[in-house]
Structure 1
Amino acid sequence: MTFEWISSCPTRQWASTTTKAADASQLVSLRAGDAITANFKGFGGCFNELGWKALALLNDADRLGVLEELFGAKGCAFNYCRLPIGASDYAESWYSHNETESDFAMENFSIARDHKYLIPYIEAARKVRGEDLYLFASPWSPPTWMKFPMAYNFGTLVWEPSYRKAYAEYFVRFLKAYEDIGIHIDAVHVQNEPNSDQKFPSCKWTGAKMRDFIRDDLGPAFQAASLSTEIWAGTVERGDFNAWAGTILSDAQTARFVKGMGFQWAGKFAVQRTRQAYPDLPIVQTENECGDGANTWDYAHYVFDLIQHYLSNGSEAYVYWNMVLEPRGLSSWGWEQNAMITVDPATRSATFNPEFYVMKHFAAYVRPGAQVLQTAGPLAANSLAFRNPDGTLIYVIQNRLDSERTVTLESDVGAVSVTLQPQSINTLVF
């Protein structure tokens, strides 16, 4: 039996470790069982403007090194990533792809702004990752002239047929424009956080309106344009199953267009009920919770808890938010947030933060197509298990205690006892 053990804790990160003799008085067991998810899609992050601005501070070699750590085969090997349609809350400034008022035919649609930040970011990642980088896109706000009131933040889509049809065409133009430059978008989610008025670009929807827009406007527009891009109902950030998944998917005409559901933030509380109600529908997590810019190990353990919750309840992908930012991660609207990696403008050097190691403990070993397995034992709520397509068995375990904890890991080829360091995160590969 071959066995590899990588551990991270506040005093050392990403260290190869050897087994220690088990203390019978401390021993707990952990074993993998049946599959929760049969075809895991992968891990990734979101491409945002401020991320590329931070990366641009590095020299070419250092920037490539960061991208290798995020997308390379020896790094996190991210393969499932997100981008905004127009401005996100981590854009340099607010914009959409068509601010020409009453341009219902979308004659002035343009992705020129994206050539400044987003497209170079995506292209740099693809040079490292390759063509198998899955991309899904979502708008934070429609063009302002399509909203009431006419502003990027707050407001709703003007609910008239001409506006809804034009907005569906806006999606189509976006996908075709990216296709024309060689970037295929695999899926769109209709609206980022559709139940929230925000200080940053946003647009409020109801589940009923999203249902009707998909059924009557977006789905038919995609069909007419012969697009292969999928439509997903997301990114839902509230835990009310009946208001969102229940409302959208209960309509048979809408459901035929919807290929999956995406959840983030408090939407995590609807994942389990959605999986129970629609066991064959793909579900993904779409945005990691963002912290406060302090990038602590304590918050890194919270991110572990988020991953454990989503994946143990059937999510088929997990997506980090800002992969790279400047220190403290200040947005253009004044919110500080965490990032996997920070780039200091003064020293033009990169720092790998605790959440980088959390993500790497999963993403560096779990391959697309893996099974997510049930775990049993006292550490089940602090662990995940995976079976890769090549048969490799992987455990990812955290020890939240301030003392060591010894665990026996069971597999179909044998068992091994390991002593986990205090406050550590561990990947163990059979």
Structure 2
Amino acid sequence: MKLFLRTVLALIIMAQMTSCDSKELKVEVLETSASGNKLSTILVGAHNKKQGSIQIKPEEKFQTITGFGGSFTEASAHLLNQLGAANRKKIIEAYFGPNGARYSLTRTHMNSCDFALSNYSYAPVIDDLELEHFSIEEDKEDLIPMIKEALSVSEDGFKLLSSPWTAPPWMKDNKDWRGGKLLPENYGTWAKFFSKYVDAYKAEGIDIWGFTVENEPLGNDNNWESMHYTPEEMTRFVENHLGPRLEADGKGHIKILGYDQNREHLNEWVDVMYASEETSKYYAGTAIHWYASTFEVFPEALQYAHQKAPNKHLIQSEACVDAEVPKWQDDHWYWSKEATDWGWDWAPEKDKHLHPKYVPVYRYAGDIIGCLNNWVDGWIDWNMVLDRQGGPNWFKNWCVAPVIVDPQADEVYFTPLYHTLAHFSKYIRPNAIRIGWENNSTDLKVTAAKNPDGTIAVVLLNQQDSKIDFELILGEKSQYITISEHAIQTIVIPPIETN
């Protein structure tokens, strides 16, 4: 009898243990924090207290993710060429390699921009209306080798979005690199320019995934390369020239994104772009920047743009810590509320409240989470690499990049911004679907996506001065997790747990 009772008791205990195990959600947790974690693996385990819960809802499906990444500029490529081979390789691998951030969506400039070494165009010969002298020779020393090297280490490849800052001055009404408008009689030549660019890059083994029609069509106060459009002018150019030219040349698959400037004017642009079937035919979507505010995501504008064209792309095409000289080997600064942007000094008085001091890591992570939760499907950082001055930049428009280098000393500094971006790019892959969640903690910012391989990635941001214990719930399973104070976490749930 005693043997029988012991056997029954053992079976009950095993059943309870099995039951408990079956309720445990298996996860991998990666954390970057002000205290020093850098995509570090965090151990999880049951505990009795919790300050909140996050329930993941895979059945609620939103936009398909295009990708995350940064931009190839002549400035970045030039700096890589000055580094030793080991550090150059280290940076390329960190951005594109299988163990790195695995960037999947990138951008570059067509003709020069402020982060070039000088003003240049692929069509420098005045009145070359047939573009007989078109040449991308300027890009072959720095820019193209960097893109090719990235392609060589990227296992999944990446999409490349190209943007002009200006047409050659001879095509414009003011004959200047800065400001002015494209002359209507040159619309056809400028459209042909885009097509020839695609062919020239294709000959180098580089495919162009898409274009934005014009970087910052509202201008930049004529500080560096720019060209102005109204929404109506840009749409006429796309509808009657650029779209038909690419289509006629067998390049109709290349995406055309309109606008490409700050979100506070987004509504008026999408109203014109998507006014009718004819105006919207060649637009694949809209591109946006973040410089209108250091904290405001403009969710209403993003929601409006999505509702206006729910089947079109909405891609954040440029963002950076601007108007700052980078802090070298000083992680603390990137977690401190000391950064200022252009608007701190120069914004009109009515907009000053949009430009307070901010924490760079929080601005990046918060903006990406906010964008994803409001239908943005792609997010691209600006320069991948800059020097300790925040250049090179011919206008001296200094900015910060996730990777800072000192070419004279052949030294590299991976700032916390690099790890912040990797929390998204490495774990939320192209063609992932953003999914639903319910968060009862007001202290955590959250987003989640289900990848094509079945994994779920949940990204959290804790801006509080204390750690937060919470329960992550998926179906009938859950896991207790602690996120450090001042930290970002990516929680990866394997496919077996998501079924």
- TM-score (norm: length of structure 2): 0.82
Give the C-alpha shift of residue 62 in structure 1: 2.1
Q: Does 1:9 align with 2:61?
A: no
2:150: which partner in 1? 125
The one of 293, 317, 336 aligned to 1:286: 317
Distance in 2 between residues matched to 1:266 and 1:211, nearest whole Å: 23
Equivalents in 2 of 1:386, 1:421: separation in Å?
Answer: 22
Shift of 1:21: 5.2
Pairing 1:19–2:19 present: no
Offset at residue 400 of structure 1 (A): 0.3
Counterpart pick for 1:54 among 58, 66, 79: 79
Q: Tell me how far 1:335 sits from its aligned partner.
A: 2.1
Q: How does 1:330-341 map to 2 (within 5 A)?
A: 330=391, 331-341=393-403
Shift in Å at residue 110 of structure 1?
0.8
1:327 match: 388
Q: Would the aligned equivalents of 2:447 and 2:460 in 1 still touch at CA under 8 Å?
A: yes
Cα separation, partners in 2 of 1:314 and 1:35, compared to 1, 3 Å: farther
Shift, 1:35, TM fit: 4.2
Verify the 8 A CA contact 1:8 1:14 in the aligned structure 2. Answer: yes
In structure 2, the CA distance between the partners of 1:397 and 1:427, relative to structure 1 (3 Å rule), is same
- Partner residue, 1:308: 369
Secondary structure (helix, strand or coil) at the match of 2:64 reads: coil
Task: Note the C-alpha offset of 1:38.
Answer: 4.1
Letter of the structure 2 residue corresponding to residue 419 of structure 1: T
Specify the code of the residue in structure 1 equivalent to 2:124.
Answer: E
Show CA shifts across 1:385-410 (max 9, x none): 11111221211111101111111111
1:356 corresponds, among 418, 430, 433, to 418
CA offset digits 1:213-268 (Å, max 9, x no partner)? 01111111112211132222131324224421110111322211111111112576
How many equivalent residue pairs? Answer: 427
The residue type equivalent to 2:478 in the other structure is: A
How far did residue 379 of structure 1 move?
4.3
Secondary structure of 2:272's match? helix
Structure 2: segments with no counterpart, 5+ residues: 1-24, 328-333, 336-358, 494-499
Secondary structure, aligned partner of 1:386:
strand
Deviation per CA, 1:199-224, whole angstroms, max 9, x where unpaired? 11111111000110011111111122
Moved more, 115-124 or 35-44: 35-44
Larger Rg: 2
**Contact in 2 for aligned 1:312/1:374 (Cα 8 Å):** no
Distance 1:173 1:390 in 2: 37
Ranges of 4+ aligned residues in structure 1 off by more than 6 Å = none
Q: Does 1:177 align with 2:240?
A: no
Give the secondary-structure state (helix, strand or coil) at the position aligned to 1:182. coil
* 2:293 counterpart of 1:265: no
Shift of residue 294 of structure 1? 3.5
CA shift, 1:188, in A, is: 1.0
Deviations 1:3-62 (A, max 9, x none): 2111111221222111255463x5111122354534211111110011012222322122
377-386 or 392-401, larger mean C-alpha shift: 377-386
User: Residues 1-400 of structure 1 correspond to what in structure 2 (within 5 A)?
Assistant: 1-12=25-36, 13-19=38-44, 22=47, 24=49, 27-33=51-57, 34-130=59-155, 132-158=157-183, 160=184, 162-197=185-220, 198-227=222-251, 228-265=253-290, 269=298, 270-291=301-322, 292-294=324-326, 296-297=334-335, 298-330=359-391, 331-379=393-441, 382-400=445-463
Q: Deviations over 1:315-343 (max 9, x none)?
A: 11111111111124132211221111111
- What's the TM-score once normalised by structure 1's chain length? 0.94
- 2: CA distance, partners of 1:221 / 1:302: 39
Amino acid at match of 2:382: W
- Secondary structure at the residue paired with 1:155? coil
| Distance in 2 (alpha carbons) for counterparts of 1:112 and 1:413 | 60
CA contact (8 A) 2:290 2:318 kept: yes
Residue pair 2:104, 2:425 contacting (<8 A) in 1 also: no
- Residue 70 of structure 1 aligns to a residue whose secondary structure is helix
Alpha-carbon distance in structure 2 between the residues aligned to 1:15 and 1:238: 34
Contact 2:78 2:143 in 1 (8 A): no
- The more displaced of 410-419 and 197-206 is 410-419
Contact 1:259 1:282 in 2 (8 A): yes
What SS does the aligned partner of 2:400 have?
A: coil
1:165 CA displacement: 0.9
Matches of 1:37 and 1:350, distance apart in 2: 39
Distance 1:360 1:243 in 2: 33
